[in-house]
Amino acid sequence: MQVKVDTKEKFTTITPIEPNIYANMAAELTETCIVFLQQDVKNIVLNLQPVSAMADETADAIAKLQQAFYDTNASFVICEIKPTVEEVFERLELLEFLNITPTESEAWDIIQMEEIERELLDSDDVEFNKNE
């Protein structure tokens, strides 16, 4: 499976080149994305703009990928999906669980917000005054 990889400061965009992502490509897509969990820039934007058809197995793999990223404190945002691909996610009842944005720019905004949220939640520097 051919993909275009574009690494930015805080995220990497992965864009499949092929218009159809068949079931046998799901594992390859997973392998391509999982590698980034070992990198300094762990956050992924999966840009599905070129994709017009997707196998159910691939949609399931993408949902599992998103969960794997969030389990390791990294973001995984999907953007620019076509209605035909959105229908696959909807039919499998995955759509409401996925982090999907209309544009790559909005995906970047989500990643920035999640980075800030993680920093705030992981911060031990915050002290609250107790009024006793």
CATH code for the domain of 22? 3.30.750.24
Distances (CA, A) of 93 to 47, 65, 79, 89, 116: 20, 16, 18, 6, 29
pLDDT at 68: 94
Number of structural domains the chain divides into:
1
Q: What's the pLDDT band for 119 if we cut at 50, 70, 90? A: confident
Say if 129 falls within a structural domain.
no
Using a cut of 0.75, tell me whether the model's pTM lies above it. Answer: yes
Range of the domain at 10: 3-122
pLDDT at 124: 56
Say if 131 falls within a structural domain.
no
Q: Taking the alpha carbons of 109, 110, 112, 116 in that order, is the dihedral positive or negative?
A: positive
Check pLDDT > 80 for residue 130. no
Say if 47 falls within a structural domain.
yes
